[in-house]
Amino acid sequence: MGVIEKNKKDILYYEIEGFNFDKKMKHIFSTRVGWEQDKLFNNLSELLNIPEENIYRAKQVHGTDVLIIRDQDNIKVSLQEKDGLITNKKNVAICTYHADCVPIYFYDKTKEVIALAHAGWKGTLNNINKTIIENMNEKFNCNIEDISVAIGPSIGSCCYEIGHDVEMLFKDKYPNYLDIIINRDNKIYLDLWKVNRINLINLGIKDRNIFEGKFCTSCNIDKLYSYRGENGTKNRMIAAITLNQ
Ligand SMILES: [Zn+2]
């Protein structure tokens, strides 16, 4: 498991190993190499071969609400307050912004439905995966065993120091999973990747259908931006997923 580094015309991006199993679906995670902040959607449009006006994103608020775009919908790309997006529409991309928070990609190959979530500690604790999967089931008739999930690059437990207040929230909610909190050198660290995997497994996603990038933003600031690693940078990477015609 890991990430695959790709480069097209000096634009560097990542895919999550194993999740790139179907030509019908394409997913990417951008980097700081070749991606100027005012050209994010321009690059994305070129890499995915999707018109820029077909790239859906939302205003992220660390919540668990999800924007649903159905095939027949003609929703304008607007900035609603949502931290997840789901669609079965072809020739559009759905997209989230990241600078340490976890991108989580979903794909149902059978029903041809894609989704994407932005999960920081709040979205992870409040289980945005649940909102995504419930909506995939209810609105698109997806079967849980057909859904594959990728956990993308974000801050790892190597670097994600938390305070006692956040530690207690996770210990209360996950009393049976002590290894999500790591104590090291009198500091407390949280493993967001592990908590999201636990959430996915508890929702019924098959272990073999979960792929992890295991690539830390804060450890790799030559390639990626890190909010923690760079004193609150305003720069962002984007995660995106699309279905071909
Ligand atoms: Zn790290």
Q: What is the pLDDT of residue 244?
A: 87
Burial 164-179 (b: 16+ CB within 10 A, else e): eebbeebeeebeeeee
Mean pLDDT of 8-32: 96
Instruction: Give 75's pLDDT tier (boundaries 50, 70, 90).
Output: confident
Cα-to-centroid distance, 181 and ligand 1 (Å): 15
Cα-to-centroid distance, 111 and ligand 1 (Å): 36
Instruction: Give 80's pLDDT tier (boundaries 50, 70, 90).
Output: confident
Cα-to-centroid distance, 221 and ligand 1 (Å): 10
Instruction: Give 25's pLDDT tier (boundaries 50, 70, 90).
Output: very high
Output Rg (C-alpha) for the chain, integer angstroms: 17
Mean pLDDT of 9-24: 96
Cα-to-centroid distance, 157 and ligand 1 (Å): 7
Cα-to-centroid distance, 58 and ligand 1 (Å): 27
Cα-to-centroid distance, 217 and ligand 1 (Å): 7
Mean pLDDT of 10-28: 97
Closest Cα partner for 30 from 43, 21, 19? 43
Q: Which helix (H) or strand (E) holds 132?
A: helix 128-140
Confirm whether 8 is domain-assigned: yes
Mean pLDDT of 47-54: 93
Give pLDDT tens digits for 39-50. Answer: 999 999 999 999
Confirm whether 99 is domain-assigned: yes
Domain holding 12, by residue range, is 3-155+193-243
Instruction: Give 76's pLDDT tier (boundaries 50, 70, 90).
Output: confident
Confirm whether 175 is domain-assigned: no
Confirm whether 163 is domain-assigned: no
Confirm whether 150 is domain-assigned: yes
pTM score, whole prediction: 0.96
Confirm whether 129 is domain-assigned: yes
Give me the helices (H) in 14-127, please: 40-48, 121-125
* Amino acid, res. 86: I
Q: What is the pLDDT of residue 1?
A: 75
Confirm whether 46 is domain-assigned: yes
Cα-to-centroid distance, 176 and ligand 1 (Å): 25
Q: Is 233 exposed, middle or buried (0-12, 13-18, 19+ CB in 10 A)?
A: middle
CATH of the domain at 110: 3.60.140.10
Cα-to-centroid distance, 203 and ligand 1 (Å): 28
Confirm whether 180 is domain-assigned: no
Length of the chain measured in residues: 245
| Average pLDDT over the chain, rounded to an integer | 95
In the chain, what percentage of residues exceed pLDDT 70?
99
Give pLDDT tens digits for 81-134. Answer: 999 999 999 999 999 999 999 999 999 999 999 999 999 999 999 999 999 999
Give pLDDT tens digits for 216-232. Answer: 999 999 999 999 999 89
Q: What is the pLDDT of residue 67?
A: 93
- Residue 55 pLDDT exceeds 90: yes
Residue, of 77 and 174, whose pLDDT is higher: 174
How many domains does the chain contain in total?
1
Cα-to-centroid distance, 179 and ligand 1 (Å): 17
Which residues face 100 on adjacent strands? none
- Give the three-class secondary structure for 199: helix
